[in-house]
């Protein structure tokens, strides 16, 4: 790690010094105006200034060629997709068409083993259409859904501490056990929705 950082710093310093020296060299050559080859009336001439510009062009082309080879080699190296990823979607009174397009786009993702967690901010009858769209697009037999009377921070009407703890554990297990999950929960704002996904996932994935 320290070695890579040191090399990176050296490259920055070297590139800066090269650019400054080239600029000073071109400026000096322009001021001096020395000519290596010239014809009468200066119809053709090649001087120190032209030599610096030509050298700059050759060096740039060389570095571009080397970078191109490096990029081509990196593209030929197989990418190891061995990190686990979860995609979290926060939904609140979404436009049905846009939500459907969003989920269809998600379904087309080809990353191996990606987990999809959609949390709806609201658990009333007016919010059910979003869960229906999720089940329709992701597949009713391939996804899990749950209408939660509360959320991680607030209990539902007439709920006890024990039942709240039980439902919280159920949500967590549901998220961990399924590849596609949709949860409707008590309204609490976008941060509460995101918190539910993060809390339920815990350390089960590498990236969220």
DSSP symbol at 179:
S
Q: Are 179 and 115 in contact (CB under 8 A)?
A: yes
181's enclosing H/E stretch is strand 180-185
Q: Distance (Å, rounded) from C-alpha 92 to C-alpha 122? A: 7
pLDDT over 70, % of the chain: 97
Phi, then psi, of 154 in degrees rounded to 5:
-130, 135
Residue bearing the bigger pLDDT, 65 or 28: 65
| CB atoms closer than 10 angstroms to residue 101 | 12
Q: Distance (Å, rounded) from C-alpha 46 to C-alpha 57? A: 15
3-state SS, residue 2 = helix
pLDDT at position 95 is 97
Q: Distance (Å, rounded) from C-alpha 193 to C-alpha 42? A: 75
In the predicted model, what is the mean pLDDT of residues 114-120?
97
Longest dimension (CA), the chain: 102
In the predicted model, what is the mean pLDDT of residues 95-115?
95
Q: How confident is the model at residue 1 (pLDDT cuts 50, 70, 90)?
A: low
Q: Are 146 and 187 in contact (CB under 8 A)?
A: no
Q: What is the pTM of this model?
A: 0.64
160-200 pLDDT per residue, tens: 999 999 999 999 999 999 999 999 999 999 999 999 999 99
- Paired with 185 in beta bridges are 121
| CB atoms closer than 10 angstroms to residue 201 | 19
Of 65-69, 100-104, 124-128, minimum mean pLDDT range: 65-69
In the predicted model, what is the mean pLDDT of residues 93-118?
96
Q: Are 207 and 84 in contact (CB under 8 A)?
A: yes
3-state SS, residue 149 = coil
Most confident of 11-20, 22-31, 68-77, 87-96: 87-96
Mean pLDDT of the chain: 89
Q: Which residues of 134-152 are buried (b: 16+ CB within 10 A; e: fewer)?
A: bbebbeeeebbbbebbbbb
Residue 17 reports pLDDT greater than 80: yes
């Amino acid at each position: 790690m320290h070695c890579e950082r040191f090399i990176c710093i050296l490259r920055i310093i070297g590139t800066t010094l090269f650019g400054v020296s080239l600029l000073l060299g071109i400026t000096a050559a322009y001021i001096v105006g020395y000519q290596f080859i010239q014809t009468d009336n200066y119809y053709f001439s090649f001087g120190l200034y032209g030599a610096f510009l030509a050298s700059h062009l050759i060096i740039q082309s060389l570095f571009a060629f080397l970078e191109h080879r490096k990029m081509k080699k990196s593209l030929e190296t197989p990418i190891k997709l061995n990190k686990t990823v979860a995609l979290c979607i926060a939904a609140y009174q979404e436009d049905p068409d846009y939500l459907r397009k969003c989920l269809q786009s998600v379904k087309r993702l080809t990353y191996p083993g990606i987990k999809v967690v959609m949390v709806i901010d609201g658990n009333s009858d007016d919010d059910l259409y979003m869960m229906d769209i999720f089940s329709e697009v992701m597949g009713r037999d391939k996804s899990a859904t749950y209408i939660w009377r509360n959320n991680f921070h607030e209990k539902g009407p007439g709920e006890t501490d024990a039942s709240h703890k039980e439902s919280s554990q159920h949500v967590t297990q549901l998220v961990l056990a399924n590849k596609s999950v949709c949860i409707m929960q008590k309204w609490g704002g976008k941060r509460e929705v995101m918190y539910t996904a993060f809390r339920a996932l815990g350390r089960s994935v590498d990236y969220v």
